[in-house]
Structures are given as structure tokens and as C-alpha cells.
Structure 1
Amino acid sequence: MSETFKAIVVNQKEKDFTREVKSIDKSFLKHGNVLVKVDYSSLNYKDALILKNGARLVKEFPHIPGIDFSGSVVESKNNDYKPGEEVILTGWRVGEIYYGGYSQYSKVNGDFLVKKPKDITTKQAMILGTAGFTALMCSFAVKAKEELLLGEKVNEVLVTGATGGVGSISVMVLAKLGFNVTAVTRKTEHNEYLKSIGAKNIINSSDFEKDPRPLDKGLWDCAVDTVGGKILANVLA
């Protein structure tokens, strides 16, 4: 690797918040025991908040954001990873309290990494990213519920925040798994998009923002909620 490389660095001195692409070297990366050459990272809602003003998520400055990344190991003091192996990172508060993936190189705790499956590329891993990983976990949980019910079929599944990252991928995956998906969104201009990725029905979010009634009529077998608040309360009512 070269002596220096580029990273997005955010900094705050009193009330002055800055963000810039800077040239740094390995000594800047103070966390972890595995050095990774970053191929790709994705842009998540939390990243946008941090890039805007730190969002009180970053506790120490200067800081490198980016809550996920994929790439290949360059140096390792962790026995589970060797140079050249391709890896993925999502979560573990990387990009918040640890330096993240918006850098050409990232150094993290090896326990935070997973080895990239052979059937996907590092680019595809970050096309899915943290949102896709979360959506897959939700979708597999719905499928697991059906299997645990000993033959009782799960048919109707509700997805809130359906045009967001987690929501839209959940709609797509759940539809592919054979469920009838109802998408909840306030962005009616995206109704055709939601239908194109598998939504059978679409409900405006405003229908879920009333005060919930206890023991309301059950309409769905499962739900994936990405919004919370009154919308979640009405889903559960």
C-alpha cells in the first residue's frame, strides 16, 4: 500500500463542524487489529446524519464515518484472517465510535468482520449493504415463523417504510419467498415502483398515524416495521 491514502474526515472544534477528503497514513487508524483495503461502502441514513453534523453519534473527533464496507485484508494480527481474504463489515458501531469505511483503508477488530461469500462480489455485498442485510434477517425471520408454526401458513405480510432501504428490499425478498406483501408508504409517487418489486397492496402511512385501538382486528400474519411510533403501535394493535 502507498504511504498515504484518502479518507473522508469529519471534525468539530467547539461549534465549527467540518467534513473534507484528506490524505492520511496508517498511523491515523488507531483502532483494531486487521487492516482492510476498502473496495466499497454504502450510504446509510446514519451516515448522512453523521456527515451533516455528527448527530451526537460521534463521541471523538476527528473521525472517519461509514458504517459498513467490503474489501480485502492487507495486514492481520487476528488468526481468523489472512492477507488477500475478502471480507465484509456491517454494524458494531463502526463509523460511530470506531473509524469507518469512508476511507481507502480501514483498520478494525477482526471480530467485527465476516468472510465474503464466494457467490457475490465485494460490490454486490455493498449494493445490499447494511440495509439489505437487515432486510434479509427480517425476511428470514418471517419465513422461520411460518416453519415454526408447524404448517400454519403465513400469507399476509405488512412492510412499513416500504420505499426506504430496509423496507424496499424486504418487499422484494418477501414477495420472492411467496408472501402477499402490503407496503405502507407516504410517498404515493412511488406506488408503481413498489408494485414492480412485488407489493400486492399499498396503504398510505396516514392510515396508521391515528391513535391505536387495543385489540383491533388482525389483518396480517407478520410485519416488518422500519418506522416505529404510532405506526408500529397500530401494526401491533
Structure 2
Amino acid sequence: MRALYSAATGMMAQELNVQVISNNIANMRTTGYKRQQAHFQDLLYQTLRRAGSATSAADTRAPAAVEIGSGVKAVSTARTMTQGNLTPTERDFDIAIRGEGFFRIEMPDGSTAFTRDGGFDLDAQGRIVTKDGFLLAPGIEVPQDATSVSISASGLVEASVAGNQPQQIGQIGLVRFVNKAGLESVGDNLFRETAASGAPIEGDPTADGFGSLQQGFLEEANVNAVTEISELIAAQRAYEMNSRVISAADQMLQSANQMFRG
């Protein structure tokens, strides 16, 4: 029976939905994480009678079709790229983006990745790097005798050295994308450019279309616990209903089999 296969696709779809929700909940405390949401589409239909087909010799027409669907399929687990709350950390190299934009990260293999996680540190050479040691681009090196570092909203980095005026040591830039939801997640709070996202558009913080930087803050995940629990309950109920359809279809097949034997 078609109902068995349709309900089976529904159960698989809700299993995927629960996996997406569980990943969102697991990353509630991940800096710069953007929640995912599963989207679905119906599968192909078998048309038993087309709308508008002739129903008599008098040229009457069927006002509606008779179509039987074959279930559901997952089409995307798109990310919601809304702004997360900013939390103060009082660390000089924690930088949050307020508004649009991503930090540009130079990977060890020479490729470029992008992130909203502004939790940076210094490496042994005094360069600003991610928690995994990946270089924030463009490379900014802090003098070893610097007593403090200030980062303006526009990305200007200045270092203070005892007995001297603050000196500019670099400029943090941002990139944005026409379709930021089309970025590929590669783990470690990093994204990569895809054909869907479009090429990165570079600019400075506070410039037109770009957000500003806030030193001493980090962006929280944009995951709402109440929303995720509500979505989880709805997914569980949908899964249960599809399992009941399978049970009902099985009972109908069993009854038909008994009638055939009789």
C-alpha cells in the first residue's frame, strides 16, 4: 500500500527534523552559532484523473483532479542568520560584530574561511588568531611590549606602549555575502563560500552595508530554547502520527490477507 511508503518518508523527514533541532540545542552556548531549520517538500503525485478531463459525452469536465501523493522529502537545512545577543567578556581580543558581516580567516592550506566567532587570542608571534590558531586576515601583529590594545567600532587596531602615544598597527575588515544563508558550514564555527552564497564583498566595519565591531564582547548563538523545545514537541507528534499510519495500513493489509485466505 502507498500509505506505508508515504508514512515511512514522513518518519524519516521528522527524524531529520529532530536531528537539526538537537544540533541547535547542543550549540546554544556556541559563540556566533546560527540556528538551522529543516524545510520539506512533497514528492511526486500519481494522477488518476486530471482536472478538466471529460466526464461525459455532453462535454462536462471534472472540476478537480484525483491525485495520490507519495510522501515528503527534505530540501534544505537553511541557517537563520539573525543577530545573536552580545555578552561582555572584558577581554581585549574578544570582538563581536553588531550587524552584517563576517571575519575573514586564513586557513593553513591557504584557503579562506569566514566566521562570526570573534573570540580571538595572540599566538607566539603576537598575531591575532582564532582559538584553533588560524590567522585573522589581514594579519595583525601586536608588539610584544604593548601594554594595551584598543579596537574601534570601525576596526582600527591601536596598541599602547609605555611612554609612547598609541600607534595604529592594523585594520580589521569584514566581508558580507549576497546570500549568507548559502554559506557552507565546515565546523569550528567556520563557513566557506559557495556558488549559492556568491563571492565575498569586502569592506570596513561601519561602512555602508557592514556592521560595527564591539571590543570586549562576544555574540551568543541565536538559538531560543523555548522555540526549539516547541519545534521538538511538534516533530515528535508528527513522527508518532506517521507511525500510526503505518500501523493502520498494516492492519488493513492483515485484514485483506485474512479475507483472501478465507
Q: Please, what TM-score do these two structures have when normalized by structure 1? A: 0.20
Q: Which has the higher contact order (CA 8 A, sep 6+)?
A: 2
Q: Please, what TM-score do these two structures have when normalized by structure 2? A: 0.18
Q: More helix by proportion, 1 or 2?
A: 1
